[in-house]
Amino acid sequence: MMLKTPFLVALLLSSSFALELETIVQDALKENYEIKLREKVILFDEQDIALATTWKDPTFSAGLNDIWFDDPLKRDKEAMQAQFIALSQVVPTNGKLAKKEAIFKEQKEISRLKLEDKKLKLASNIREIGYSFVITQKKIALLKDYQKNTKELEDVAYMLYESGGIKQTVPLNAKLLNSKLKIQMQNLEYKLQSLKLKLEELTYKEIEAVETSLEKRDDLSVDIETHPAILALKSEVKKQNSVAKLKRAEKIPDIKFNVGYFQRDDRNDYLSASINLPLPIRGIQEKQESKAKYKALMGKDKLESLKITFKSKVDLFYEQMQTAYNNYEILQNDMKGQKEYIGQNLALHAQLGHLNSIDLIQNINETISLEMLALDELNNYFSSYAKSLYFKGEL
């Protein structure tokens, strides 16, 4: 009993520090720096929206004209000499500011949807690693139980061999089984450490143990039309159509109004007024409009391609989940008889000399392999399930 106490204490301490997987996911969504970065991008987009409807600043100018080199300070030699101040203001036309605002609003929506898509990818990735972490913990706990039993089996086998009750091959096979379990344990502990580091990289938390339910999940039901990645491409198409409308509106140029006040010595002051506007005679706006329309068409093609990819992956993950869980259940059922056989014989290890010891060791070896294989299938199930949650749009 004294030998079991440290293990039980360690198990209890590990369980007390175990983090619930869903808590890890939700905390990571709040703390992840890439998520925070994308949230700040939305704030930039809001500033762009505010600036879109703002007129350009007016231009102020001042100066002197008709300066004589032989008498530069004299300002009354002729009527053309004057000092002036002037203001210029570009006035937008044809609803361009509203069209720019529409473009930036679409960009903000795209940024918001990309943020949601990033959250889904992060949550899916953490869950996939988390499920693998929990199942690896389960494998390690299972091997510890087997190691305890097989060590007792090895000790009894050597004792019976020394008393002449069994052949030498029995304790040697038991020792070989224990060595195999040690190697498996080392590999699992390395895998668990690797998963731990991956989780800590994504969550910024120190992970010692993870817990979550490994019950079968509901069947996968997905509406890809509402997925952020799909909606983001739809918004991109809308944005490019808005750009095309803006370029069409730019065929009517903005007007620049200029007003100046001219002051003359010993003569009447006067005002001047003028307008400037570019002449859209090079076809630049038509080309830019066509370019935006092509981008919108490309976006539609990307959208349809992404929908096909999503549907294909959803179907694939569903099939993988079904196959993996069916395999898991088959292996669980197939192991029942062997586990009962092992349990009964280990309970009677004091009478091992009267039992088929080689057969027992072989059964333990096969059962461990089947148990590990069953947990591998369970891991395949939850790996596909975690990936499917991205497409399901579930945080």
Q: What whole-number distance in Å separates Cα of residue 48 and Cα of residue 45? A: 5
Q: Is residue 26 part of a domain?
A: yes
Asked whether residue 228 is domain-assigned, the answer is: yes
Q: Quote the number of domains for the chain.
A: 1
| Per-residue tokens: 244 | 């095309």
- Indicate whether 121 belongs to any domain: yes
| Average predicted confidence (pLDDT) for the chain | 87
Q: Is the pLDDT of residue 340 over 70?
A: no
* Spatial CA neighbour of 347 closest among 337, 366, 360: 360
- The predicted pLDDT at position 364 comes to 77
Instruction: Check: CB of residue 32 under 8 Å from CB of residue 121.
Output: no
pLDDT band at 337 (very low <50, low <70, confident <90, very high): low
Q: CA–CA distance from 62 to each of 255, 262, 312 (Å)? A: 21, 10, 68
| Percent of the residues in the chain that have a pLDDT greater than 70, as a whole number | 86
List residues bridging with 210 in a β-sheet.
Answer: 19
What global pTM score does this model have? 0.84
Percent share of the chain, pLDDT over 90: 64
As a residue count, the chain comes to 395
Report in angstroms the alpha-carbon separations of 116 from 106, 144, 230, 238, 299: 15, 42, 11, 19, 20
With 60 as the cut, is the pLDDT of residue 10 above it? no
Element (H, E) at 233: helix 228-249
CATH number where 42 lies:
1.20.1600.10
Backbone angles phi, psi at 83, to 5 degrees: -110, 140
Distance CA 79, CA 394 (A): 79
Domain boundaries, position 330:
4-57+96-252+285-392
In a domain, 259, yes or no: no
Domain presence at residue 172? yes
Whole-number Å distance between alpha carbons of 57 and 51: 12
Q: Of the ranges 59-73, 157-171, 201-215, 317-331, which one carries the lowest mean pLDDT score?
A: 157-171
Tell me what pLDDT residue 11 has: 43
- Residue 261 confidence (pLDDT) above 80: yes
**91-149 pLDDT, tens per residue?**
999 999 999 999 999 999 999 999 999 999 999 999 999 999 999 999 999 999 888 87
**Residue of 221 and 220 predicted with greater confidence:** 221
Whether the per-residue pLDDT at 386 is higher than 90: the answer is yes
**DSSP label of 68:** -
84 found inside a domain: no
How does residue 349 score in pLDDT terms, banded at 50, 70 and 90?
Answer: low
Residue 264 inside a domain? The answer is no
Q: What does the alpha-carbon distance between residue 375 and residue 381 come to, in Å, rounded to a whole number?
A: 10
Of 7, 24, 6, give the one whose Cα is nearest residue 209.
Answer: 24
Q: How far is CA 173 from CA 16, 38, 162, 180, in A?
A: 38, 59, 15, 10
pLDDT for 105? 97
* Confidence at residue 347, expressed as pLDDT on a 0 to 100 scale: 57
| Type of residue numbered 170 | V
* 118 neighbors 110 (Cβ within 8 angstroms): no
How far is 244 from 294, CA to CA, in rounded Å?
Answer: 9
Evaluate whether residue 268 is within a structural domain: no
